[in-house]
Structure 1
Amino acid sequence: MRTKMTGVLAVLGALAGGLTVGHARADYVPPFKGNDTGGIIAYALAGETDVRALAVNHCAQYGKVVKLTGVQPSYGGYLSFACIWVPQGRAERPLSVRY
């Protein structure tokens, strides 16, 4: 009886240990991330695509326009932008960029 219980506990311990060893990937940030107030674009993506067009498309989803707020031109840096409402006196809505 004692050996059965020891074997069951060993299996349960191995299962619990296997669940806690997995990686959480808490260090991963996508190259483009944003919401209705703005977002960030990885600086490495700036050499590959038109980052302004990415930001314009993103903000246009929410009926807003882009205001670029900052650039960190280094390894691991980001371009940050804000999505703001269309300025006063403008009657037109923002347009989506399509290629």
Structure 2
Amino acid sequence: MLKGGIAKARFGTMAGLMAAMAVLAVAPAHADWVPPIKGNDTGGIIAYPVAQTADARQIAADHCASYGKVAKFLAVDARYGGYVSFACRWVPYGSAQRPLRTLY
């Protein structure tokens, strides 16, 4: 009787261990989805495939305009998984205008 109880306990432990291993084996395969355009009031990034098919300058200008700023492109990583980065500035380079003062 005691021997049968130990075998059942061992089987339950092994089944739990196998289930945990299966979950851990599948977990690294999960990849988070990243939006093609991401940014905030200081700038952002545009996925390179989106920049190839759409007007990246207009996307960046619209994004920065929502904060009352203008877009300045910084870099292009032209490869699969790459991105186009831009900064949102108060005034364009070379402008004689003073930056706008805003209160948040």
- Give the TM bin, normalised by the shorter chain: 0.5 to 0.7
Amino acid at match of 1:20: L
Structure 2: gaps (5+ residues): none
1:20-99 superposed matches below 5 A = 20-22=24-26, 23-25=29-31, 29-72=34-77, 74-76=78-80, 77-86=82-91, 88-89=97-98
> Stretches of 4+ moved more than 4 A in 1?
none
**Considering only CA atoms, is the larger Rg found in Structure 1 or Structure 2?**
2
Tell me the TM-score normalized by structure 1: 0.67
Percent same amino acid at aligned positions?
44
Deviations 1:7-40 (A, max 9, x none): 21022112211221121426x6543222222112
Tell me the TM-score normalized by structure 2: 0.65
- Which structure exhibits the higher relative contact order, with contacts defined as CA atoms closer than 8 Å and separated by 6 or more residues? 1
Number of residues paired by the alignment? 89
Give the aligned CA root-mean-square deviation in angstroms.
2.5
Give the CA deviation at 1:61.
Answer: 3.0
Greater helix fraction, Structure 1 or Structure 2: 2
